[in-house]
Structure 1
Amino acid sequence: MHTFQVKIKKAHYLVCLLLVLMSCKKSVEPVSKSPVNELEKTYLANLDSSIVYLDSLKKSSTKLELLKFYKKSRKQFKLAEPILAFTDKENYKTLNGPNILKVEEEDATDIKIKNPFGYQVIEELIFEDSIPLNKLHSTASKTANRLKLIKSNTVLRLKDYHVLWIIRDEIARIALTGITGFDSPALGQSLEEAVINYNALEHIIKTYKANFKSEDLFKTVISEFQNSKKMLQSGEFNSFNRYLFIKEHTHKQLALLQDIKADWTIEFPLELAFNNNMTSLFSKETFNMDFYADYVEVDSLITAKRSLGKTLFNDVRLSSDNSMSCATCHNKDKAFTDGLRVFPKQLRNTPTLTYAAFQQSFFYDGRTGNLEGQVVDVVNNNNEFHSTLKSMEKIVSEDSTYVAKFNDIYKKGVTQRNVRNAIAVYVRSLGDFSSKFDKNINRLEQTLTQSEINGFNLFMGKAQCATCHFAPVFNGTVPPNFTESEFELLGVPKDTITNVVDTDFGRYNVFKTEERKHFFKTPTVRNISKTAPYMHNGIYTTLQQVMTFYNDGGAAGLGIDIENQTLPTDALNLSNTEIEDIIAFMHTLEDES
């Protein structure tokens, strides 16, 4: 029986959405007072005001004036954010992206190096000791021009289910990046901006009031947004209780979206990264696994595939000399790592396979784009399986037990692709959000200590961990769209004595892009209590050492001068107690199984 059909690629998801949501303004129909038109009117007004204030900023020279017009423009941008981020993801990422050189590597012949611009860049320039006015005005002009382009080419074509997606994504964005300080690096006004975001969501709900059959539900949603704003307004960035906010407000709002879905009688035509019925950010029901894979799997055969993949994963016969299986380096008792600094004849530390499914690139250097491709690399590697896909297929096809199982599950039986798919399906099952932290934030138990809660709040706030290790998976795949896995340059040393940067160039080795030297993919922090030693070269044996490295400012803190470091170079000034709390929190991310 055939087990999968060709998957609509993530890019195709976006293309389909854009075709529905945006078109040339020349095709505008006569304006009516439909909620979509009202929403568009407000959205375009927000974009226009953002532009006007940036134009004023370009004429300013004092820090006081620059800040005044920046904040005014930023406020309007944040009011437009829910719709802009959904209808024009790439432009939103550009306008709200970090002040870091942007490198796009499609393949060796298509590499683009782009200087950043947008709000974060403007914000950081304003706070430089000596404000570079020419660069600041130029950046503001480029940002305004991009907003003008978006405004002049936007017509919203929103269905009701799009509106629910917009609201859901913004609720998640506030919780996962907004309140972490991800996009307010100098001003630190993340909580204030989250209030602005909730004002935007409140406006959307009020615009669609006529859709509500239940007046009580409408009032409940508005009241919940207002309660969220009150908590945000009463908080201070470093002491804000993000754990309580997500538990009491974010998850309540996601549940209310399910009530709205029923009240509006919504049917979704497809699922994006989030499952359409999700009510928690930290659950095995949160994500649509097909979004991350290359094929839409048939649900009735998933269990059989996982079982078959697990057997293959542990089969040493797949290596040329029958000495190694996948499990040789990925031991389930060590969260699918090996406990070694670097496995013999390998270049880097063995990463965990738990939650490996929830990313868009694989290996520390991101040289493959899916788990099936990762299997190919392992099979062909002379220091791992030292074999070929053809040999692997031959070994499996000569085992009658394997043949019977493959024939039962796959239409074409044993093929190279089917063997790789079975292993990949098994690996995608590793990680079930069963940790102590997940159970507590989902109200299944109340066992977190105050130290562990403090650690989560620090991780998501003052310590800036979550600006690279994004919740809920705590890896480098950026929420709420989860289409990009980030790479970072930390400047990890080659040893703990000389403080010289490690000689491994990381991502550079894939396409030889100079600006990617020493960049590595951000791994998950889940199950980190079992995955020592740490970093791509296994240099640190304890989490205390890792935290000291980050607390001191990475390479810069060690006195290593390295270009393009993405980790903030200033010390975090965490106390010993705060470091202990963060480590305590990370230990709560150990899965039960």
Structure 2
Amino acid sequence: MKQVSASLLLITIIILVASGFKKGNSPTAYSRCYFNKLDKFREQASALVALIQASDLQQPADVKSITSRLDATRRSMKQMDFWMRYLDPSRYKQINGPLPVEWETEVFEKFEKPYRKEGAGLTLAALYLQEDHIEKDSLQQLVQKAVDATATYQTDSVTRNLGTCSPFFLNNRLYLLNLAAIYTTGFECPDTSRIIPELRDMLKDVTEIYDAFNEGFAATPLTREYLALYTDAIEFVNKQPDQYSAFDHYLFIKNYINPLFRLNQQMIRAYKVVSKSFVDYTLNKTVNSIFSKAIYNGQNAKGIFLRVDDTTVLAEIEKVGKLLFYDPILSGNNQRSCASCHQPNGYFTDSVAATAIQFNGRDVLKRNTPSLINVVYNHLMMLDGKHISLQDQTKAVMTNPIEMGGTEKDILKKVLSCPDYKKVFKKLLAETPGETEITIDHITSAITLYYGKFSSYSAPFDDAINNVTPLAADAKKGFNLFMSKAQCATCHFVPQFNGVKPPYVGIEFEVLGVPQDTGYHKLSEDKGRYEVNPAVETLHAFRTGSLRNMQHTAPYMHNGIFKTMEQVIDFYDAGGGTGKGLTVPNQTLSADSLHLTPPEKKCLIEFMQTLNENIVFEKPPVTLPSSTITKVNTRKVGGIY
């Protein structure tokens, strides 16, 4: 008996060590909570599949019964949502994917081509039940894929995350980010009447997860301060109306979710939490607010100067970058600079023309000039996502025959013909180990470092939601509309109000049905994302841009067709191109009218004006470096056109 007991003890120790359990931690309660909720969801989803199989979908009573069962299944799914999104976000889209087909355009497109991902699960099943003709096999398949996806959450590679504290706090961070950006907006809940009831249930369910975690991980618990504030958040939501358009999104985020995020970030640092998941690839654990500009990293503005941290050296790079930004020496005819189209007094965009003039000085480009402010918070550059880095984009513009018309060879030759440029770049060469000569990358990186710094400014809304200053009543109403009835937040996610949603590794491309003219006689012919990644779903799709500084970056849309914010809001209110009578088979924007009232539209604009950032712009350089090439010395600061 002693020998058997000793063997069992040894086996137990080996299992605990292999599972990553630390001395003093008892994960039994936490893991039991996880598996109980997983089993419940699996049972509910399997029962839903069986009900669909046994039903006659031509009978309203059967459809009603399935809808009721689907709601119950969503309820049990939301009990697992805390874990599923983080532990395997790809499988989660099989359980609750919002789109029938999605092209993955994550940060990892910097390393691999985008791939087609078919959605499935409960959100799509709910949408399918609203259609006039429902095929049993199709509906059953949507739910069966959700059942099948649960198997992933039982594998060792996933469940071993239950054995240490680190994944919990990273799970919790994503949960809080989604509370601010996803859960209250209707992004993946087609029945808006259920958004707030689902939120209440989820908040309560996560309390059980918190209790189980603290029981098992007494050495690294959620603090009393955190748990008390979370209880207050539940009480706040319980007192709110059921209708999500009447829910106070602003106070919910400002008074509860953002402070909870701060406390969770403090615990991540205090407990020395380490991530091994790509979900955390871009997130910054040093920030204490969701509305910190540094919450995630999208682009590396330093480029080839990545290793440089010395502020004096960085200032020197920025200085030469500014000169180059205004220097038409980068163009084929020495008459056009970056500032020709990205005008600093226009928030680094072309605030005059719908689309800028081409290199030939006669024709115009087909797309509106996007602002360079806040581009560092995009994973993919250009409106079609063509480029993966700021430096690639800069180089492409300089060498595009219809934009700046230069060549890498000539640009480098002309820049180095200026003694001042040559001297500084020779000095900076020492800051790029492994590089033996000055290249075009040194030039583009200096430029991106210069304009990248203008993305660090905050807006009045940031100050308000961070409890620095108050927010005007109409602006608050506008934000709550933005997050609900106006449906803006289903594409423009906090904190950057662009298409990058938590966990900030992916970016949205949307098909809106933008017209060629304001009379809506024709759909814009620009194929958008299709030109980079040809697919039915990507035709006329464009990257969702940031709404920050929107008041100063007119005209709007990819072709600059709208001149005012009012026109843009009217376009969305009408249901986009389809709502205006255009044929857009793959439009991702709802074609239904939002039924916004004139006062509501006014409040929306009031809110968006609080996103105007307090940017300190700089005056252009007075002169440009002289060149040993005589003809180059006739160039003007900022270019001629």
After TM superposition, give the deviation of residue 373 of structure 1 in Å: 1.1
Contact between 1:434 and 1:592, CA under 8 Å: does it hold in 2? yes
Aligned counterpart, 1:280: 289
Q: Which range moved further: 296-305 or 451-460?
A: 296-305
SS for the counterpart of 2:103 is strand
Please give the residue correspondences for 1:299-314 in structure 2 after superposition, counting only pairs within 5 Å: 299-300=309-310, 301-314=313-326
- C-alpha distance 304-570 of structure 1, shift in aligned 2 (>3 A): same
Pair 1:161–1:517, CA change in 2 (3 A): same
Partner in structure 1 of residue 565 of structure 2: 543
How far apart in 2 are the matches of 1:127 and 1:586? 33
Shift of 1:49: 1.9
Note the C-alpha offset of 1:51: 1.8
Amino acid at match of 1:183: E
2:49 maps to 1:58: yes
Task: Report the Cα distance in structure 1 between the residues aligned to 2:159 and 2:302, rounded to whole angstroms.
Answer: 32
Match of 1:237 among 234, 241, 244: 244
RMSD, aligned CA: 2.9
1:565 aligns with 2:573: no
Matched AA of 2:234: K
Query: Does the CA-based 8 Å contact 1:436-1:589 persist in structure 2?
Result: yes
- Does the CA contact (< 8 Å) of 1:357 and 1:427 recur in 2? no
Q: What's the secondary structure of 1:481's corresponding residue?
A: coil
Q: 1:449 offset after TM fit, Å?
A: 1.7
Q: For 1:100-111, list aligned pairs within 5 A.
A: 100-104=100-104
Residue by residue over 1:81-126, the C-alpha shift from the partner in whole angstroms, topping out at 9 and shown as x without a partner, is 222222212222443321342235879x977544421221012123
2: distance between equivalents of 1:466 and 1:459?
Answer: 6
2:187 corresponds, among 182, 185, 191, to 182
| SS of match in other structure, 2:160 | coil
Show structure 2 runs of 5+ residues with no match. Answer: 1-17, 56-61, 358-363, 616-641
Residue 134 in structure 1 maps to residue 137 in structure 2? yes
Amino acid at match of 1:449: A
Alignment of 1:421 with 2:421, yes or no, is no
The CA deviation at 1:381 is 0.7
User: Contact (CA 8 Å) 2:20, 2:164: kept in 1 or not?
Assistant: no
Letter in 1 for 2:34: Y
How far apart, in 2, do the equivalents of 1:364 and 1:561 lie?
22
Q: What is the aligned partner in structure 1 of residue 73 from structure 2?
A: 73
Conserved? CA contact 2:94–2:145, under 8 Å = no
Letter in 1 for 2:459: S
Q: Does 1:43 align with 2:52?
A: no
Equivalent residue in structure 1 for 2:175, among 149, 167, 170? 170
SS of the aligned residue for 1:520 comes to strand
C-alpha contact 2:399 2:405 (8 A) present in aligned 1: yes
Q: Does 1:499 align with 2:499?
A: no
The alpha-carbon deviation at position 78 of structure 1 amounts to: 1.8
Given the alignment of the two structures, is residue 444 of structure 1 paired with residue 456 of structure 2, yes or no?
no
Are 1:266 and 2:290 matched, yes or no? Answer: no
Q: Which residue of 1 aligns with 2:412?
A: 393
Residue 532 of structure 2 corresponds to residue 529 of structure 1: no
Distance (Å, rounded) in 1 between the aligned partners of 2:36 and 2:136: 28
Structure 1: distance between partners of 2:94 and 2:171: 19
* TM-score (structure 2 length as normaliser): 0.81
Which amino acid letter does the alignment assign opposite residue 348 of structure 1? R
Say whether the 8 Å CA contact 1:493–1:500 is kept in structure 2: yes
Determine helix, strand or coil for the equivalent of 1:155. Answer: helix
Alpha-carbon offset, residue 385 of structure 1:
1.5
Does the residue aligned with 2:498 lie in a helix, a strand or coil? Answer: coil
User: Secondary structure at 1:103's aligned position in 2?
Assistant: strand
Identical residues among aligned pairs (%): 29
Give the C-alpha shift of residue 523 in structure 1.
0.9
Q: Which residue of 460, 472, 475 corresponds with 2:495?
A: 472
The offset of 1:203, in angstroms, is 3.4
Paired with 2:181 and 2:307, the residues of 1 have a C-alpha distance of 28
In 2 relative to 1, CA 214–572 (structure 1 residues): closer, same or farther, beyond 3 Å?
A: same
Match status 1:120 vs 2:130? no
| Pairing 1:371–2:390 present | yes
Instruction: Normalising by structure 1, report the TM-score.
Output: 0.88
Distance 1:46 1:114 in 2: 27
Is 1:352 the counterpart of 2:352 in the alignment? no
Between 1:68-77 and 1:33-42, the stretch displaced more is 33-42
Q: Distance in 2 between matches of 1:363 and 1:33?
A: 52
State the AA in 2 paired with 1:349: N
Query: Which amino acid in structure 1 is aligned with residue 456 of structure 2?
Result: D
Q: For each residue in 1:259-302, what CA deviation from the matched residue of structure 2 results, as whole angstroms up to 9, or x when unmatched?
A: 4346x542547974232122211123433467898775433244
Cross-structure match for 1:13? none
Q: Give secondary structure in 1 for the equivalent of 2:455.
A: coil
Which has the higher Rg, Structure 1 or Structure 2? 2
Q: CA deviation at 1:517?
A: 1.4
Distance 1:88 1:33 in 2: 28
Match of 1:10 in 2: none
Counterparts of 1:252 and 1:376, CA distance in 2: 42
Instruction: Tell me if structure 2 keeps the 8 A contact 1:160–1:266.
Output: no
Helix, strand or coil at the partner of 1:179? coil
- Does residue 341 (structure 1) correspond to residue 348 (structure 2)? The answer is no
Is contact 1:292–1:360 with CA below 8 Å preserved after alignment? no
Name 1:86's counterpart in structure 2. Answer: 86
Rounded Cα–Cα distance in structure 2 between residues aligned with 1:258 and 1:29: 23
Q: 1:92 to 1:114 in 2, by over 3 A?
A: closer
Q: CA 1:304/1:70 → structure 2, altered by over 3 Å: closer, same or farther? A: farther
Moved more, 276-285 or 519-528: 276-285
Contact 1:365–1:521 (Cα < 8 Å) also in 2: yes
Farther off after superposition, 338-347 or 131-140: 131-140
Q: Does 1:462 pair with 2:485?
A: yes
How far apart, in 2, do the equivalents of 1:511 and 1:265 lie? Answer: 43
Contact 1:274 1:288 (C-alpha < 8 Å) held by counterparts? yes
How far apart in 1 are the matches of 2:261 and 2:22?
A: 32
Question: Quick one: which amino acid aligns to residue 438 of structure 1?
Answer: D
Q: 1:407 to 1:84 in 2, by over 3 A?
A: farther
Structure 1 residues 381 and 35: alpha-carbon distance in aligned structure 2, compared to 1, 3 A threshold: farther
Q: Is the 8 A contact 2:187 2:490 kept in 1?
A: yes
- Structure 1 331/31 Cα, relative in aligned 2: closer, same or farther at 3 Å? closer
**Matched residue count:** 564
Structure 1 residue 161: deviation in Å?
A: 3.1
